[in-house]
Amino acid sequence: MPNLYLGGTAFTPQSLSALIQSRIDAADAVGTARANLLAAVQAFRAINKEASPIVRDLRHFVAAAFGRSSTQLADFGFTPRAPQPAVRPSRSSRRTNRIHPRRRTQEMK
């Protein structure tokens, strides 16, 4: 059999075999890469669990020593946090959160 026509393309037995083998090799590479990724994520999580409190304390120490918006935070790999504006609930939301006296008496019955 000289040629096979599959998917609108003519294949010789050797080219079809090479295509299928390249697909198998790519699938094996994906499986290996996924296993490596999962192992790396597991190792990171174990280290991060131990290091997170230390990094947090270091950040607080550096912020206390140099100021929260100091440029020296960058020397330690930290970025200054942007100040968060104080958010006050709007008047309309405060009105809707109140319980109306008539409704309260109806709910108690």
Q: How much of the chain, in percent, has pLDDT values that exceed 70?
A: 80
Residue 100 banded pLDDT, cuts 50, 70, 90: low
Task: Copy the structure tokens of residue 76.
Answer: 């330690």
Q: Domain spans of the chain? A: 4-80
Closest to 71 measured CA to CA, from 61, 81, 79, 82:
79
Q: Measured in whole angstroms, how far is the alpha carbon of residue 16 from the centre of its chain?
A: 41
**Is residue 90 scored above 80 in pLDDT?**
no
Q: Which pLDDT score, from 0 to 100, does residue 104 have?
A: 55
Angstrom distance (rounded) from CA 42 to CA 71: 33
pLDDT at 31 (0 to 100)? 96
Q: Tell me the pTM.
A: 0.52
pLDDT the model gives residue 29? 97
Confidence of residue 41 (pLDDT cuts 50, 70, 90): very high
What is d(CA 54, CA 58) in angstroms, rounded to the nearest whole number?
6
Distances (CA, A) of 102 to 51, 91, 96, 107: 56, 21, 14, 9
Tell me the per-residue pLDDT of 13-36, one tens digit each, with 9 for 90 and over: 999 999 999 999 999 999 999 999
Mean pLDDT of the chain: 84
